[in-house]
């Protein structure tokens, strides 16, 4: 099952700056080989359900290994059975409506 996901990892019990942890999240995603896009409030990623979930789990493991004691993650996740959709199409179809 193909999935399009937005997720935000929030380290708890560390300092106020989170960029070192988000950079690690990006590294985990790069190693995963999954198509992903960092944005101001999270990361979009798409692919096979199991591979995407394994990547998010890998982010939790990597951050705990960096010493983060507690992690809160938000995931917004979409699946479709009517047709396959790509992340790039989603933005393009909205822009086409606005032209």
Q: By the 8 A CB rule, do 75 and 85 touch?
A: no
84 binding a copy of itself? (CB under 8 A): no
Structure tokens at 58: 């890998």
CB of 60 to a copy of itself, least distance (A): 5
The CA distances from residue 91 to 43, 83, 85, in Å, are 15, 17, 11
Residue 31 interacts with a copy of itself (CB under 8 A): yes or no: no
Smallest Cα–Cα separation from 14: which of 1, 3, 4, 24? Answer: 24
Please tell me the count of residues contacting a copy of itself according to CB under 8 A. 59
- Measured between alpha carbons, how far is residue 7 from residues 21, 89, 95, 98 in Å? 14, 19, 23, 27
Residue 80, interface with a copy of itself (CB under 8 A)? yes
Among 32, 33, 48, 98, binds a copy of itself (CB under 8 A): 98
Does the protein bind a copy of itself through residue 4 (CB under 8 A)?
Answer: yes
Asked if 28 interacts with a copy of itself (CB under 8 A), we say no
Assess 64 for contact with a copy of itself (CB under 8 A): yes
Minimal distance, residue 74 CB to a copy of itself, in Å: 5
> Which residues are paired to 44 by β-bridges?
6, 37
């Amino acid at each position: 099952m193909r999935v399009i996901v937005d997720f935000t990892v929030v380290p708890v019990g560390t300092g106020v700056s989170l960029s070192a942890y988000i950079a690690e999240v990006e590294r985990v995603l790069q190693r995963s080989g999954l198509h992903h896009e960092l944005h101001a409030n999270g990361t979009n990623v798409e692919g096979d359900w199991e591979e995407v979930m394994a990547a998010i789990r890998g982010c939790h493991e990597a951050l705990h290994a960096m010493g983060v004691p507690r992690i809160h993650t938000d995931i917004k996740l979409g699946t479709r059975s009517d047709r396959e959709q790509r992340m790039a199409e989603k933005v393009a179809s909205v822009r086409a409506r606005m032209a």
